[in-house]
Amino acid sequence: MGASDQGHTGPERRKQQRRSGADRRVGERRRGFDRRGESEWEPVRLDDEISSSANEETGLIAAAIDARTHARARFSRFQVGAALETGTGHVISGCNIENATYGLTICAERVALFKALSEGHDLFTRVVVVAETDDPTPPCGACRQLLWEYCGDIEVVLANLAEVKKRLRLSELLPYPFDARFL
């Protein structure tokens, strides 16, 4: 830490370091190994701060809500939509698709991620997950793992059909991820 950084810790320092808008799209994506030491694993909270413009977030939420309408949830009746923002500003959406065996069910977040990867996208900045619930509906463990491996510590926005319920970093949902560091 330089002399000018000594007075800034915690949320103030993170706020200064945070990028916004198009600037956050030029950041590095995790490439299978971690550039940080173990002492630097600190989740970054976003609940009290707006991390992006309202227009960008509104578009992502609308895409997730629209994707949710295509969900194939005939067993659980629990429809989920997701929208993944790429580093170039594209929005790739997905919905959950159930199977009678449940084990073959695929979540909305993974559908969006797999679509994005199969279309050649490899840099991601944020994911929105929408469900018709009062409480935030976070990604499941499998989705968290895949999002971590392919997207890194992206912003996660959890919303229902009326409002954003929570904003956080993926590292808050998956605080000690398994990745190439352990291989």
* Among candidate residues 86, 157, 155, 156, the one with its CA nearest the CA of residue 124: 86
Is residue 21 within 8 Å of residue 53, measured between CB atoms? yes
Residues 6+ apart with CB under 8 A from 89: 22, 25
Annotated catalytic residue 57:
no
Of 38, 109, 132, 149, the catalytic one is 109
- Angstrom distance (rounded) from CA 155 to CA 85: 10
Nearest to 54 by CA among 167, 145, 135, 136: 167
Look-up: residue for tokens 């992006």?
52
Q: Which residues are catalytic?
A: 109
